[in-house]
A and B are shown apart, each in its own frame.
Chain A
Amino acid sequence: MTATTPTAERRLGSPEVKRWIQRHGWTVGIWLLLVVLVIWYTTLIPKFGGFQTSTIITGGTSWIFLGVAQAVVVIAGGLDLGVGGMLVLTSVAAAQFMDGQSLGVILILAVLITIAAAVVNGLVGWIITVSKVPDIVVTLGSLFIYQGLALMVLPKVGGGTSGSFRWMFTGSENGIGSNPWPAIVVITIPVVIIAWWMGRTRSGLSLYAVGSDKTAAFLSGVRDAKTKIVAFAVAGAFSALAGFSSVSISGVGNPTTDGGTLTLNSVAAIVLGGVALTGGVGSVLAVVPAAMILFFFNPILSALGVDPNRAQVIQGILIVLVMMVAGVLEWRRSRRS
C-alpha cells in the first residue's frame, strides 16, 4: 500500500477531502436538499422573512428531536416505537405541572421530566435486553402505555407553561413570532453534544459497535445490554425535549395527540437521514435536515396549492423516490470499490 499511496494522491487531489465527502455524502446531500427546498420555497410565497423562517424552524423542532431520539436507538441496532408516546406524555406532564409556576420552578421541572423520561425509557431498554422480546413488540407496548399515562396525567386538553419557557423554544411568549434564534440554539446545543458523544467517545461509539456487529463488539469489550439501555434512555430524554417544544408552540397540553403518527414521522426522518434500519450506520447530523425537510413538505405543498388530502400521497412518493436515488448511488459506489 505504500507503493500506491503517492499515485492515488496525484490522481484524486486531496484524498482526505474526497473521503470526507464520500463518508458524509448523505449528510452533505440532505443539507443541500434542504437549502434547495428553502430557496425554492422563497420564490413560491409572496413574502419570506423572519416570521416564515421562525415558523418552519420552530415547527420542525419537535420533529428533529424525535428523529434524533429514534436515530440513537436504531444506530444501536434497535427500534423505539414509543418515542411519539413519550412526546405526548412529557408534553402533558409539562403542561400539567408547569402551569402558573415561576420560570425557576419550571426549569427544575423540565430537568426532572427529562430525567424521568430517560429513566423510564431506559427501563424499556432493560426489559428488552432481559426478556429478549423483540424491540418492536416491547416498544409497541410502551407506546400504548405512554399514551394511556398521558390521559391519566391530563384527562383533556389544558394546562400550560410560562411565556418565558415558550420563548426558549419558539422565540415568542405566545408561541409564534419572527425570531428563529432561540429555537436554533435549543436545537443546536443538544444535537451537537449528542453527535460529539456518538462520534468521539468510547461509550457513544459503542452504539455503532453494537448496531454494526454484535459479536465483534463483544470481543472488543462492549456490553450489549448496557449500550442498549443507554440508547433508550437518550431517546427518552430527546422525546422529552420534543414534548417541551410541542407544549411551547401550542401553549397547552393535548393528551389526545396521536403518538403513533409522531413515531412514524421519526422513522421517516431517520430513513431519509441515511440511518440504516439494520443498525450501525448513520449520523444524527443528517437526521436534523431530514426531519426539517419532512416537516417542510406541508408548507411547500400548500404554497403550491396542492390539496392537503393529496399532500400525504405526494409526501410518501417523494420519500420513496429519494430512497431509490440514494440506493442507486450506494450501489454504484459499492460496485466501483
Chain B
Amino acid sequence: MSDTPNSVLTAKGIAKNYGPVVALRSVDLSVEPGEIHALLGANGAGKSTFVKVLAGVIHQDAGTNHINGDPVSFKMPNEAAEAGIATVFQDPALIPDLSLDQNLTISGLQHRDVEPWLERLKLANYDFGLLARDVPLATRRLIDLARALALDPQLLMLDEITAALTPEQADLVFDVMREWKRMNRSVLFISHRLGEVLSICDVATILRNGRDVANFSLDGVEESELVAAMLGEALAGAAPAADSGLTSSVADDTDVVLKAIDLDFRGKVNGISFDLRRGEVLGLTALEGQGQDELFALLSGDHRPNTGEIIVNGEPMVARSPYDAIRKGLVFVPADRQEALLPQRSVRENLAMPLYNRIERWFNLRRDEGKRVGAAIERLDIDTRAASQVQRLSGGNRQKVTIGRWLVEDFEVLLCFDPTRGIDIQTKTQIYELLREVAAGGASVLIYSSELREIPLVCDRVLVMYDGAIVHEQPAATATEEILLTAAHGLEVVSS
C-alpha cells in the first residue's frame, strides 16, 4: 500500500466489534488526492462498517485515522464533514417530514450552495419545497449527493449510490465524479456493479472478513479478477457440502409444496418462478437490494404481487396479511429478530404465540400443546436463566426462538431471511441443524442467506437473484463461493 505523506486519508488498523461479532478486524486504507478509490468486498466483508467509522457514525474499537496527516476522531457525521469527508450513506439521510430546502438548512447549507451541482445532475429546477418523503428514492439519492458535494469535501464517500439509480442517472453521477477528480479531490466508491467500478475507478482496495486483503491499480483488470480477489485463495479449500453430512438430496419427483409463477412486484421482483419440494431446503442468495426483501414480503403475505401467482399445495394463495399466509402454512422468520418477538415476555410465551392465533385457545392451551412448547424449549437448548424475558437472550438464542416458535405449530414452509446474520459460529451450526431437522420432518425451507459459504452447508439447491430476477440455479453441494458471487454480480457463470 502506498503511504505518501500527502494522502488525503490514512486509516490504519481500524477494528470494530459488535458484541461478540467482529465486523472489522484490521483495515488499512489510504486515499490520494485526485483518486477514485473503489472499496470492494462480498456481503459482510465490512465495507459499510468501515465507511461509517470514517464518517464518524460509529466509533472504532482500535486503529487510527488521519486526514491530511492530522489525526482525527469524530463523534458525529458533521464533524467529519467539517474535516473534509462528506458521505452519501446507503440509508437515505434526508429527513422525511422536512422539505428539501429545510433539509439543506439542517446541514447548514443554502439552496444556492447546491445549485451548481443540481444543474449537473439534471435537477436544476427541481421543486425544493417538496417534503423529502414525497420525492422518489433515486432523486433523493442525487440530492443527497448534491448536498455532500456542496459541503466541499476533499474526500467524497459514496456507499452504493448507484443501486437505486437508472443508468442515465448513474452516468450523471460518474460525470460529477470525474469532474471532482479533475479538481484534485478524491472519491471512495462502493458498488456491487463491477462494470462501473472498472470504468470509473483508478484503484481498488478489497475487504474480506473485516481485513483489507488486496490493493491494486485497476488498469487492465477484468471483472473475473475482481471476483477472484474478493474470494481470495483461502477459499479453495472451503468445506464442501458432502463433508458436513447435513444436506440430503431430494428427488425431483417429490411433490411441490410451494410454487411461485411469474411473480412481479413494483419493479423490484421481475418474473420470478420457482418450485419448492417437500422436505427440501432451498437456498436463495443475492447482493443487497436485488429484490429479495420484496420476494419474501410476497411469500409471507405482507404484500401481494402485482402479477403472478403463489401456489401452496396446489391451491393459489391470496394473502391480505401474514395471517392468511400462516393459515396456508407459510411461516416467516425475519432478519430483524426484534420484529418477530415479544421482547419482554418469556421464551415460553413467545414460543406459544402462534398457538394463541386460534380464538378457542385464548384462555387455555390444550394439555398436549403445553407439552409441545416444553419440548421445543428443550430442543432449542436455550439457557433458561435468561428465559424469563426474551430481550435478555443473545442474538443467536433469540433467532432460535423465532424459528422455534413455529415448531410448536404445524406448518408447510419455513421462510428464513438471513437467519444467521451476526450470530456466532456455534449457534449458527445449531441453526443449520435445526433447519435440516425441519426438512427431515417433512416440511420445506426457503432460506435467503447473504453468507455464501453457508449455502452448501445447509441447502439442497440454490437460486441466485440479481436485479429482481433469478439468474442462476444449481445444486447447493457444488455451489462454490466463486460461482455464487459471480452469479450474484449478474455475470455469467463459466462452468469449469
9 A-B pairs with the lowest CB-CB distances in the bound complex, closest first: A221-B78, A212-B97, A219-B93, A280-B97, A209-B95, A212-B95, A216-B93, A220-B106, A205-B102
Q: Report the minimum CB–CB distance from B268 to chain A (whole Å).
A: 20
Pairwise interchain contact B98-A205, C-beta atoms closer than 8 A: yes
The docked-state distance in angstroms from the alpha carbon of A19 to that of B99 is: 12
Least CB separation from A281: chain B residue: B97
B residues in contact with A19, CB < 8 Å: 129-130
Q: Report the minimum CB–CB distance from A21 to chain B (whole Å).
A: 13
Least CB separation from A276: chain B residue: B97
Instruction: Give residues in A with beta carbon < 8 Å to B.
Output: 1-2, 5, 15-16, 19, 23, 199-202, 205-206, 208-209, 211-213, 215-223, 280-281, 337
Kindly identify which residue among B89, B95, B130, B134 contacts A217, using a CB–CB cutoff of 8 Å.
B95
CB pairs A–B below 8 angstroms (7 shown) = A208-B98, A212-B95, A212-B97, A216-B95, A216-B96, A221-B79, A221-B107
The docked-state distance in angstroms from the alpha carbon of A45 to that of B273 is: 72
Pairwise interchain contact A205-B126, C-beta atoms closer than 8 A: no
B residues in contact with A212, CB < 8 Å: 95-98
A residues in contact with B381, CB < 8 Å: none
Kindly identify which residue among B91, B108, B130, B139 contacts A219, using a CB–CB cutoff of 8 Å.
B91
Given contacts A205-B106, A215-B91, A337-B134, contact A221 B81 (CB under 8 A): yes
A residues in contact with B134, CB < 8 Å: 337
Pairwise interchain contact A213-B96, C-beta atoms closer than 8 A: yes
Question: A5, A16, A218 — which one has the most chain B CB atoms within 10 A of its CB?
Answer: A218
B322 at the interface (CB under 8 A from A): no
Given contacts A16-B129, A337-B134, contact A202 B105 (CB under 8 A): yes
Q: Report the minimum CB–CB distance from A334 to chain B (whole Å).
A: 10
B residues in contact with A219, CB < 8 Å: 57, 77, 89, 91, 93
Pairwise interchain contact A1-B126, C-beta atoms closer than 8 A: yes
Given contacts A1-B126, A208-B97, A221-B81, contact A216 B92 (CB under 8 A): yes
Pairwise interchain contact B91-A220, C-beta atoms closer than 8 A: no
B residues in contact with A220, CB < 8 Å: 77-78, 93-95, 103, 106-107
Pairwise interchain contact B95-A208, C-beta atoms closer than 8 A: yes
B125 at the interface (CB under 8 A from A): yes
Q: Report the minimum CB–CB distance from A26 to chain B (whole Å).
A: 14
Least CB separation from B88: chain A residue: A219
Contact with A along B90-122 (1 / 0, CB 8 A): 011111111000110111100000000000001
B76 at the interface (CB under 8 A from A): yes
A residues in contact with B106, CB < 8 Å: 202, 205-206, 209, 217, 220-222
A residues in contact with B139, CB < 8 Å: 1
A residues in contact with B102, CB < 8 Å: 199, 205, 208
Question: B81, B93, B95, B96 — which one has the most chain A CB atoms within 10 A of its CB?
Answer: B95
Pairwise interchain contact B97-A218, C-beta atoms closer than 8 A: no
Given contacts A205-B106, A209-B106, contact A221 B92 (CB under 8 A): no
Q: Report the minimum CB–CB distance from A19 to chain B (whole Å).
A: 6
Residues of B in contact (CB 8 Å), total 30
The docked-state distance in angstroms from the alpha carbon of A221 to that of B147 is: 13
Given contacts A200-B105, A206-B106, contact A218 B96 (CB under 8 A): no
B residues in contact with A208, CB < 8 Å: 95, 97-98, 102
Pairwise interchain contact A213-B81, C-beta atoms closer than 8 A: no
Question: B79, B98, B102 — which one has the most chain A CB atoms within 10 A of its CB?
Answer: B98
Given contacts A208-B102, A212-B95, A216-B96, contact A221 B129 (CB under 8 A): no
Question: B77, B97, B125, B130 — which one has the most chain A CB atoms within 10 A of its CB?
Answer: B97
List CB contacts (< 8 Å) of B110-152 with chain A: 122, 125-127, 129-131, 134, 139
A residues in contact with B76, CB < 8 Å: 218, 221, 223
List CB contacts (< 8 Å) of B56-97 with chain A: 57, 76-79, 81, 89, 91-97
Pairwise interchain contact A201-B105, C-beta atoms closer than 8 A: yes
A residues in contact with B103, CB < 8 Å: 220
A residues in contact with B125, CB < 8 Å: 2, 5
Given contacts A202-B108, A222-B106, contact A216 B126 (CB under 8 A): no
The docked-state distance in angstroms from the alpha carbon of A299 to that of B95 is: 42
B residues in contact with A206, CB < 8 Å: 106
Q: Report the minimum CB–CB distance from A168 to chain B (whole Å).
A: 34
Q: Report the minimum CB–CB distance from B156 to chain A (whole Å).
A: 15
Least CB separation from B99: chain A residue: A23
Question: A208, A209, A215, A217 — which one has the most chain B CB atoms within 10 A of its CB?
Answer: A209
B residues in contact with A280, CB < 8 Å: 95-97
B residues in contact with A221, CB < 8 Å: 76-79, 81, 106-108
A residues in contact with B126, CB < 8 Å: 1
B residues in contact with A216, CB < 8 Å: 91-96
B residues in contact with A218, CB < 8 Å: 57, 76-77
Q: Report the minimum CB–CB distance from A333 to chain B (whole Å).
A: 11
Q: Report the minimum CB–CB distance from B132 to chain A (whole Å).
A: 9
Q: Report the minimum CB–CB distance from B57 to chain A (whole Å).
A: 7
Q: Report the minimum CB–CB distance from A213 to chain B (whole Å).
A: 6
Least CB separation from A202: chain B residue: B105
B residues in contact with A223, CB < 8 Å: 76
Question: A202, A208, A213, A217 — which one has the most chain B CB atoms within 10 A of its CB?
Answer: A213
A residues in contact with B131, CB < 8 Å: 23
Q: Report the minimum CB–CB distance from B391 to chain A (whole Å).
A: 14
B residues in contact with A2, CB < 8 Å: 122, 125
B residues in contact with A23, CB < 8 Å: 131
Least CB separation from B107: chain A residue: A220
Q: Report the minimum CB–CB distance from A7 to chain B (whole Å).
A: 15
The docked-state distance in angstroms from the alpha carbon of A215 to that of B81 is: 17
Least CB separation from A210: chain B residue: B95
The docked-state distance in angstroms from the alpha carbon of A281 to that of B77 is: 25
The docked-state distance in angstroms from the alpha carbon of A15 to that of B448 is: 45
B residues in contact with A213, CB < 8 Å: 95-97
Least CB separation from B75: chain A residue: A223
Least CB separation from A204: chain B residue: B105
Beyond A212-B95, A212-B97, A216-B95, 15 additional contacts (C-beta under 8 Å) are A202-B106, A202-B108, A208-B102, A213-B96, A215-B91, A216-B93, A216-B94, A217-B106, A219-B91, A220-B78, A221-B77, A221-B79, A221-B81, A223-B76, A337-B134
The docked-state distance in angstroms from the alpha carbon of A211 to that of B97 is: 9
Q: Report the minimum CB–CB distance from B398 to chain A (whole Å).
A: 20
Least CB separation from B103: chain A residue: A220
The docked-state distance in angstroms from the alpha carbon of A200 to that of B106 is: 10
